[in-house]
């Protein structure tokens, strides 16, 4: 939805404080398997989505600058408007009165939308944190409370999703997520560089989750692959906790192979993964549902900065994130 002719004048004086911050997410290990109860290792991409208050409005009205997207809360509108109305409803359910919810909100995002990086959960959590802050509800800033801002809106976008996006968006650092919530926040691991690059097409997440679920019921090979992905997730979690990033990288490479065997990779993804490995990534794989979306590559000693310009020649969006413990 482009806003070429829309009047955006209400969004030109964002107040510096309070602001609402949220992370995006990149799954390092465990996508798809997480839907069936396996643990997933998820890196939160820090401070990717930041919401600023631009004053009162007649309804919750959001403009996401870099997506050129204006959304007004409307429970009878399109998917975006319904999702914003759902965020508004969640805030109401948490006891925040209408005068704080009827705001104009300017959102700055470092990530593209619809790329499988959890942008919708990030938007819900950053806007929710902003509005909770305006209402003086600092008790809702904690990750386990902030996920509630995204609870209803994520159902609109993702159907029966695992909830991983919202958990990571609210938490920061690296988390072990199991369906239902965060199992563990990993607070002791060496600083990592994560290169994330978009393959150029929207991941058909809902369709792929349904396909993999059907295959798991009917096809033994797929079931075995999902079991192997679960085992790799466990192995990678132990490796990260032991500070063994080489081993974490190897588990990511192996996971990529199994995800490809489940027919979740694409030519563009393979190309991006290969380039990252050739440039010294310890591990590189598709991240999220696959079939498009993004890849994630882990670097430690080797600086991926030079690679970034090369990757940007073949990818419409790529960036490097420093990942470190949320609470060291
Ligand atoms: C999508 O980012 C990750 C999946 O595991 C689905 C989910 O966890 O909801 C494919």
Contact 154, 165 (CB under 8 A): yes
Distance CA 208, CA 324 (A): 31
Cβ of 116 below 6 Å from ligand 1? yes
Please tell me the pTM assigned to this model.
0.94
On the question of pLDDT at 160 being above 80, the answer is no
Q: Which atom of ligand 1 is nearest the CA belonging to 287?
A: 2
* Ligand 1 near 35 CB (within 6 A): yes
**pLDDT (mean) for 272-291:** 97
Q: What is the pLDDT of residues 11-70, one digit of tens each?
A: 988 998 899 999 999 999 999 999 999 999 999 999 999 999 999 999 999 999 999 999
Ligand 1, closest atom to CA 290?
10
Ligand 1 atom at shortest distance from the alpha carbon of 161: 9
Q: Is 289 in the pocket of ligand 1 (CB under 6 A)?
A: yes
- Cβ-proximal residues to 158 (8 Å cutoff; 6+ apart), any chain: 120, 165, 205, 206
Q: Give the position, in ligand 1's atom list, of the atom nearest the Cα of 289.
A: 10
3-class SS string, 191-218: CEEEEEEECCCCCCHHHHHHHHHHHHHH
Give the span between the Cα atoms of 177 and 158, in whole angstroms.
17
CB distance 178 to ligand 1 below 6 Å: no
Query: Mutate which of 289, 290, 296 to test ligand 1's pocket (most atoms within 8 Å of Cβ)?
Result: 289
* Length, in residues, of the chain: 328
What residue owns the CA closest to ligand 1's atom 2? 288
275-293 b/e with 16+ CB inside 10 Å = b? bbbebebbbbbbbbbbbbb
Mean pLDDT, residues 131-139? 97
pLDDT of residue 5: 62
**What pLDDT does 1 receive?**
45
Residue closest to 170 by CA, chosen among 128, 111, 133 = 128
- Range with the lowest mean pLDDT among 138-142, 231-235, 300-304? 300-304
Q: Report CA Rg, the chain.
A: 19
HSE of 165 in the Cβ direction (CA atoms, 13 Å)? 31
Q: pLDDT band at 236, cuts 50/70/90?
A: very high
Of the ranges 202-206, 223-227, 272-276, which one carries the lowest mean pLDDT score? Answer: 202-206
Atom of ligand 1 nearest to the CA of 208: 10
pLDDT tens, residue by residue, 81-92: 999 999 999 999
Average pLDDT score over the chain: 95
Ligand 1 within 6 A of CB of 288: yes
- Ligand 1 centroid to Cα of residue 164, in Å, is 7
What tokens appear for 48 in the block? 């990717």
Tell me, using a 6 A CB cutoff, whether residue 251 lines ligand 1: no
* Residue bearing tokens 């949320």: 326
34 ligand 1 Cβ < 6 A: yes
pLDDT at 2 over 50: no
Q: What is the pLDDT of residues 117-129, one digit of tens each?
A: 999 999 999 999 9
Residue 4 has pLDDT above 80, yes or no: no
Cis peptide before 18 (omega within 30 of 0): yes
């Amino acid at each position: 939805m482009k806003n070429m002719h829309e009047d955006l004048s209400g969004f030109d004086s964002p107040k510096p404080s309070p602001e609402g911050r949220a992370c995006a997410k990149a799954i390092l290990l465990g996508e798809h398997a997480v839907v069936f109860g396996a643990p997933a290792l998820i890196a939160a991409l820090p401070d990717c989505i930041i919401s600023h208050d631009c004053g009162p409005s007649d309804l919750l009205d959001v403009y996401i600058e870099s997506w050129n997207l204006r959304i007004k809360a409307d429970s009878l509108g399109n998917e975006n408007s319904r999702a914003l109305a759902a965020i508004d409803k969640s805030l109401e359910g948490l006891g925040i009165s209408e005068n704080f919810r009827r705001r104009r909100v300017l959102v700055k995002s470092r990530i593209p939308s619809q790329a499988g990086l959890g942008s919708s959960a990030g938007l819900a959590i950053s806007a929710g944190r902003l509005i909770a802050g305006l209402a003086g509800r600092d008790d809702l800033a904690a990750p386990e409370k902030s996920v509630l801002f995204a609870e209803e809106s994520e159902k609109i976008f993702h159907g029966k999703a695992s909830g991983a996006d919202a958990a990571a968006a609210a938490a920061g650092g690296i988390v072990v997520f199991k369906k239902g919530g965060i199992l563990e926040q990993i607070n002791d691991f060496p600083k990592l560089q994560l290169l994330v690059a978009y393959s150029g097409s929207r991941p058909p997440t809902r369709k792929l989750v349904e396909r993999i679920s059907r295959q798991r019921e009917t096809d033994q090979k797929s079931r075995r692959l999902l079991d192997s992905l679960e085992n790799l997730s466990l192995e990678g979690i132990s490796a990260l906790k032991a500070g063994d990033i080489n081993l974490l990288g190897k588990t990511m490479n192996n996971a990529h192979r199994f995800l490809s065997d489940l027919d979740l990779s694409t030519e563009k993804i393979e190309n991006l993964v290969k380039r990252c490995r050739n440039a010294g990534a310890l591990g590189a794989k598709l991240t999220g549902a696959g079939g498009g979306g993004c890849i994630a590559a882990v670097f430690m000693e080797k600086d991926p900065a030079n690679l970034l310009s090369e990757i940007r020649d073949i990818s419409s969006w790529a960036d490097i994130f420093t990942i470190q413990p949320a609470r060291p």
